Amino acid sequence: MTNTFGYFWNQLVYGKFSSKFNEYCQRKDIPTPYKLCFAEDSIDHVHEALSIDEKLSVFQTNEQLLFEKLSFFVSDKKIVKMFGQPNSFSIMRIGGKDLASYCYKRIYRGLKA
């Protein structure tokens, strides 16, 4: 009963798409309510993005960059409101910030993505 109460309490307080809820599930060895985007440790998928290569050119712009009409650093509620429940989800905490991946099955230019 304690695990069930703690599970739903943490999901209610932090939200099911939060690193706190994900950490609770990992600590208690309880499956999360969503499939993971990455079967293995997701840090491998973002390692290159986090490593700055001095040889790469850096471009500055005043233009707002959008992904599917969303700006970066929007809330999870806005993502779920716009696209619906994700097919899978992964989250990790890096440097005090949450890095989340919302994975959706889409058809892009006639191809499944």
Q: What is the pLDDT of residues 12-67, one digit of tens each?
A: 898 888 888 888 888 888 888 888 776 555 566 666 666 666 777 778 889 888 88
Task: Give, as one character, the DSSP assignment of residue 62.
Answer: S
Q: What is the pLDDT at residue 68?
A: 78
Residue 70 has pLDDT above 60, yes or no: yes
Residue 95: strand, helix, or coil: coil
Per-state percent for the chain, helix, strand, coil, to nearest 5: 35, 20, 45
Whole-number Å distance between alpha carbons of 5 and 97: 27
